[in-house]
Amino acid sequence: MSDKYNHPLTTRYSSDEMSKIWSDITKFSTWRALWIALATAEKELGLPIEQKQIDQMKAKQFDIDFEYAKEQEKKLRHDVMSHIHTFGKACPDAAPIIHLGATSCFITDNTELTQIKKSLLEVQKKLVRVIDVLKNMVLKYKDMPTLGFTHYQPAQLTTVGKRASLWLQDFVFDLHQVDKLIEELPFRGVKGTTGTQASYLALFNNDSKKVKELDAKVAALMGFSKTIGVSGQTYTRKIDFMVCSVLSGIAQSANKMANDIRLLMNLREVEEPFGKNQVGSSAMAYKRNPMRSERVCSLARYVISLTANAAHTHATQWFERTLDDSANRRMTLPESFLGVDAILLIVTNVISGIVVWPHVINKRVMEALPFMATENILMACVKAGGNRQDLHEAIREHSMEAAKVMKEQGGECDLLDRIAKDASFKAVHSTLKDIVNPKLYVGRSPEQAAEFVEAEVSPVLKKHAGHLKDKGDVQLKV
């Protein structure tokens, strides 16, 4: 417990791995890693920097005096300068060359891009796990008929696995976007105060080639293969919007799936995992609420909203930079990733432990199927010599009466019994049960689900097989 606000994304929902990426320790040790990389590359390209200075910086990368930095920032009103002084105090020999030629955004922007890349890799890993458990659900239930809904009204039959394949497809699309973003994400690099690299040209006596080499060397030392082509003082905030858009896409997919599960739980066709001692309601002890799916929707709504924030931030930047993005991005970027991280953990937990109730599903199918089967019954009787128009009218009358019993009396569907007693339909009396076999009304649902997994899901899982080495159960904090 604390007498200060703690963010629920870190205390209740997200993983320790994602929280660590956006922690103060990671942020400020990455600042120091950038200063080390800059000095290392500058030394390699001929600037008068001694190895002992770099060694001293490396020795103190993680030994950060946060109290001193806090004091300095209070005095200087500048976070980067406060940490330059803090690092210099810890490395007195290196103090004269720390941040040589750089601007603050060399530190802040490159750190954020490093955090974004690490976070995307963490999202990629968890997204692959979601795809894997959903694939298992698709294949397990690909042949089980269930009632399809359009407008949340009974429609044609599908299968439980085919419906799950729709959820799966969305997440596969999301993974493709994450993969693309990881591959294309650039480093800001060493670009100078307004992106012209003028300070570095001054350091290297107008040697443009060395400045370009410096840019590439620092990027490589920080794990990036390319830097952004052009920049102002900051990298374009369009990148933040692109990142938040991909994360929003994942949140959208999860929200759609979780909403479906919530509706299916109301129908008692499926249930999300429910702990032995879990309480559904403080008042109604019998309740089993879709708490986890509701939490997914709640978090997803928040993540989706942050995309608009990133869009406005990019749209309102002035010329080479303004500082009105700074305070905003300190929240938007980490919260987008922490939110999606939490969502993926919950989704994996729900799908891994989801319970499907076949008898409930079949009961609902058999309430609707007789009405769907009437066209097949009509065709069979016409083939046997019946009058199409007379048979159509008879089916209409029987259907209306059967529906009336269901609606007015709360009775079960007796349409088949009515048809079985009507001599007009004697041609199908002996095969009536075969005609209303649910498997005859699911179309290619089983094949579609299996083909989709083989063609589009299995290759993705094979590509990312390394993420599936540790497939232990996902345990939620709460």
Where in the sequence numbering do the catalytic residues fall? 151, 281
DSSP strand pairing (145-150 vs 270-271)? unpaired
Radius of gyration (Cα) for the chain, nearest Å?
A: 31
Secondary structure (DSSP) of 297-363: HHHHHHHHHHHHHHHHHHHT--TT--GGGHHHHHHHHHHHHHHHHHHHHHHHHHHHT-EE-HHHHHH
**91 near 57, Cβ under 8 Å?**
yes
Look at residue 155 and give its three-state secondary structure: strand
Burial class (CB in 10 A: 0-12, 13-18, 19+), 339: buried
Write out the H or E segment, with its range, that includes residue 153: strand 153-159
Alpha-carbon distance of 445 to 467, in angstroms, equals 29
Angle between helices 238-266 and 326-352 (to 10 degrees): 30
Alpha-carbon distance of 9 to 32, in angstroms, equals 27
SS3 content of the chain, % helix, strand, coil (to 5): 70, 5, 25
Cα 247–Cα 253–Cα 256 angle in degrees, nearest 5: 140
Cα torsion at 275, 278, 280, 285 (round to 10°)?
120
How many residues are recorded in the chain? 478
The DSSP symbol for 148 reads: E
CB atoms within 10 A of CB 28: 21
Burial class (CB in 10 A: 0-12, 13-18, 19+), 371: middle
Look at residue 159 and give its three-state secondary structure: strand
Alpha-carbon distance of 195 to 188, in angstroms, equals 10
Alpha-carbon distance of 350 to 162, in angstroms, equals 18
| Amino acid at the residue 402 | A
**382 near 388, Cβ under 8 Å?**
yes
